Structure formats: C-alpha cells, structure tokens
Amino acid sequence: MCRLIGCVVTLLGLALNVQAAEVSVAVASNFTAPMRKIAQAFEQETGHRAVLSSGSTGGFHVQIRNGAPFQVLVAADASTPLKIESEGLGVEGSRFTYAIGTLVLWSAQPGFVDGTGDVLRRGKFERIAIANPKLAPYGVAALETLSRLGVLQRVQPRLVRGENISQAYQFVATGNAELGLVALSQVVADGKMVRGSGWIIPADLHAPIRQDAILLSPGKDHPAAIALMGFLRGDKARSVIRSFGYDL
C-alpha cells in the first residue's frame, strides 16, 4: 500500500513538472523589485516560473519590434503597450493598467531633502539624476515636475540622465548625484523609506504615470504567460504592488 501511495505521489509530481512552464517577462526598471516578489508568489501558486529581464520601456519596445521573444511586457507607461498592440505585436484586448507610479525627489543623505522639495530652489547641490525622458516615462514625469516647479532652467546644467530609472537611482545611491527624481518603489519597502530622505512628488505636478502590462504575440497561446497576466490582476500581486508605494 505504501509503495502504491509513493508511486501516485511521484506520478503527480511528474505531472506537475510537465505542466509547469517558463514565461519570459520584460519588466520596466522601476517595477523590478515588486515583480521579483510577484514572480516568487506566482511560482509558488502555479508552478510556472517567470524569467525577468529589467530595462527601459522604450528599449524593450525596440527589442520587441526587432523580434525579441518576450511573452509579457510589464511597462512603465500606457502608451508603449498601446503602440505594441496597434503594431500587431501584442494580443488585442490583453492590455490593462496594473499600477499608477509615484515619483519621489530622493537623496541617499538623511535630512538632505525637506518635506516640500525646497532643496530644488535653494540649489545647494551639484547634480540631480533623472531617467532618460526619451526612453523612460519616469524621465518625462521628472522634466514635467521640474518645469511646473519653475526650476527646470536653473537645474538643467546639473541634470544627469540615466538610461533608465534604475541607473538614475544608482547615480544617487552611489553619491554620484546628491539628488534624483526616481520611482518611490525604489526607496520604500512595506510603506517605509529604507534609506536617505525624500519628498513624494504631488500627483498634480505631472501627468499620471499609468503602467500597463500586455500579453505579447509570442505568449498568445502560452499557458504560463496567460497565467501570469491573470496573476498580476489578483489580490496577492496587488498587495505587493501597494506595499511598494504604487496606487492601483
């Protein structure tokens, strides 16, 4: 009897392994940390494994146009997934907003950034890092914010542009720039700032950073890709997304 039970358990395990699959996911840099947590929960619940590649949304768009075999795009904006859908590179109707991004003026130095962002007007810094606005939606939002605060011309010579929001964050984290306009998700965990000082940018200082996901054409009939799109809409994923400072 015990041998029979052992055989059944082994067969069930083999069946689960056969059904489990990998999904190739292009993830916007600002969403890398939460997506890692989501991927872990996804694998525990479904057995499928999400293989993540992190980078700029604009860069991923170019790669997808050139035939990169990603199956899901988790973007930092809404416009790129829309373009991908209109170009026939994504599954029509699969696009949805998974998060609303939040921008923060951040310094690795405690007490350097005040509660109103007045440090931008005082100008006592050499460099301020942003993501490249040609590639990254957070870079666009950063320029909008600086313009609406009336300080863009003053700080323009001090701007350091990272290829993506991760590189902009690294400039500040390593001290190569005293300040940066980065994603809140990069500097908080469980709702608390983990290092340095920051000012959360009021939402009315830039257009909403709507972040959309889309099922790409190579993932159209792929069970793991389809399952991941569903998982991103679920309560477990949404709880992780909130904990990193995003709105839903």
CA distances, 155 to each of 30, 45, 128, 176 (Å): 23, 48, 8, 16
Q: Does residue 49 surpass a pLDDT of 60? A: yes
CA distance 226 to 243: 24
107-127 confidence digits (pLDDT tens): 999 999 998 999 999 988 999
Selecting from 3.40.640.10, 3.90.1640.10, 3.40.190.10, 3.40.50.620, what CATH number does the domain 103-200 have? 3.40.190.10
CA distance 244 to 35: 10
Tokens 């904006």 found at: 77
Mean predicted lDDT score pLDDT of the chain: 91
Q: Does residue 228 surpass a pLDDT of 70? A: yes
159-175 confidence digits (pLDDT tens): 999 988 999 999 999 99
Q: Which of 229, 241, 195 is nearest to 25 (CA)?
A: 229
Q: Does residue 231 surpass a pLDDT of 80? A: yes
As a whole number, mean pLDDT of residues 23-44 equals 96
pLDDT score for 5: 44
129-155 confidence digits (pLDDT tens): 999 998 888 999 999 999 999 999 999
As a whole number, mean pLDDT of residues 210-221 equals 97
pLDDT tier for residue 12 given thresholds of 50, 70 and 90: very low
User: How many other CB atoms sit within 10 Å of the CB of residue 92?
Assistant: 10
Q: Which of 57, 53, 75 is nearest to 232 (CA)?
A: 75
pLDDT tier for residue 7 given thresholds of 50, 70 and 90: very low
CA distance 19 to 182: 39
CA distance 28 to 233: 17
In this structure, the dihedral spanned by the alpha carbons of residues 238, 83, 101 and 194, taken in order and rounded to 10 degrees, is 90
Q: Which regions of the chain carry the CATH code 3.40.190.10?
A: 2-100+210-243, 103-200
pLDDT tier for residue 192 given thresholds of 50, 70 and 90: confident
pLDDT score for 193: 81
Selecting from 3.40.980.10, 3.90.1640.10, 3.40.50.300, 3.40.190.10, what CATH number does the domain 2-100+210-243 have? 3.40.190.10
- Beta-strand ranges (E) seen in the chain are 22-28, 49-55, 72-74, 96-101, 103-107, 128-131, 159-162, 179-183, 188-189, 192-193, 197-200, 209-215
Q: Does residue 71 surpass a pLDDT of 60? A: yes
- The reported pTM is 0.81
Q: How many C-alpha atoms does 208 have within 13 Å on its Cβ side?
A: 10
